């Protein structure tokens, strides 16, 4: 046991010592332990929540959901603006962009919005809690839990090691998609009378799939091109996007083709 603990301590030391010194002082960044604890609490809530709610009435969260979803729209719009402006002013390349590890104003601006993007993924774990409180347990699919649970680790690593560079492309596209997505959820939360205006749900899923295809092409290109950006990060994103494309494609098929056949 002592040797196992020593190995874990050694791995932890390597992880914390090799990070971006600019972002180390920021909330939840220095060590992977806080994010791991958040993930374990998240899994605990998923396990215990439905059991605790089993004999209770669903909680009416209409006002909370309206406020939450439109707040996420505003946060996503802010991050989209920051990713766009910081990359534009820095003359970022879409094909190959190394990380600027300097403390220049633009480099720090990009690093800060990367942190906000990571932290937004922590906030988005609330989506799962709201499903549980409203007894929408059918929404607690493998896709939902996998996507929410893994994104906090992916972007913790992004802020810890590559806060900028090629990472900006994922943040830029994903924040745009989330502006659309949380707008949909916010409108849906207003009430059933809004459903006639929400015919575009199918296209929202298509937009989500399109973003993963863009990420796959973007990182795939950089895996085989000469670019001063870690191949390990590109490889992780490439593999992760493949899993999301498979899962979202299955969701799309089950929701819009299989259900139509059953009708």
Residues labelled catalytic:
147
Q: Report the alpha-carbon angle 220-226-232, nearest 5.
A: 55
CA distance 232 to 149: 20
How far, in Å, CA of 12 to CA of 34, rounded? 12
State the Rg of the chain over Cα: 20
3 state SS of 23: coil
Is residue 196 within 8 Å of 70, Cβ to Cβ?
no
3-state helix, strand, coil in the chain (%, to 5): 75, 0, 25
Residue 141 CA to residue 251 CA, distance in Å, equals 10
- Supply the DSSP string of 22-80, one letter for each residue: TTTTSTTTS-SHHHHHHHHHHHHHHHHHHHHHTTSPPP--HHHHHHHHHHHHHHHHHHH
Q: Which residues contact 131 (CB under 8 A, 6 or more apart)?
A: 137, 139, 140, 144
Measure CA of the first residue to CA of the last residue in the chain; give whole Å.
57
How many other β-carbons are positioned within 10 Å of the β-carbon of residue 203?
A: 12
Pairwise CA distance, residues 110 & 228, whole Å: 18
């Amino acid at each position: 046991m002592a040797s196992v603990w020593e190995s874990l301590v050694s791995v932890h030391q390597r992880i914390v010592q090799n990070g971006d010194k600019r972002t180390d002082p920021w909330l939840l960044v220095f060590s992977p332990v806080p994010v791991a604890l958040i993930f374990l609490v998240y899994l605990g809530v998923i396990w215990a929540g439905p059991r605790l709610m089993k004999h209770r009435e669903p909680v009416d969260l209409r006002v909370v959901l309206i406020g939450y979803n439109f707040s996420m729209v505003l946060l996503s719009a802010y991050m989209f603006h920051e990713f766009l402006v910081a990359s534009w002013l820095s003359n970022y390349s879409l094909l190959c962009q190394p990380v600027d590890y300097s403390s220049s104003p633009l480099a720090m601006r990009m690093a800060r919005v990367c942190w906000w993007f990571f932290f937004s993924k922590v906030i988005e774990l609330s989506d799962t809690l709201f499903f549980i409180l409203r007894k929408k347990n059918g929404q607690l699919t493998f896709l939902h839990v996998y996507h929410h649970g893994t994104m906090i680790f992916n972007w913790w690593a992004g802020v810890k090691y590559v806060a900028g560079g090629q990472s900006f492309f994922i943040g830029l596209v994903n924040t745009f998609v989330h502006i659309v997505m949380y707008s949909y959820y916010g409108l849906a939360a207003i009430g059933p009378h809004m459903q006639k205006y929400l015919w575009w749900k199918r296209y929202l899923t298509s937009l989500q799939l399109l973003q993963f295809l863009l990420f796959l092409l973007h990182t795939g290109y950089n895996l085989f091109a000469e670019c001063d950006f870690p191949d390990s990060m590109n490889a992780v994103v490439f593999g992760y996007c493949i899993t999301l494309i498979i899962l979202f494609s299955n969701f799309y098929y089950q929701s819009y083709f299989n259900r139509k056949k059953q009708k």
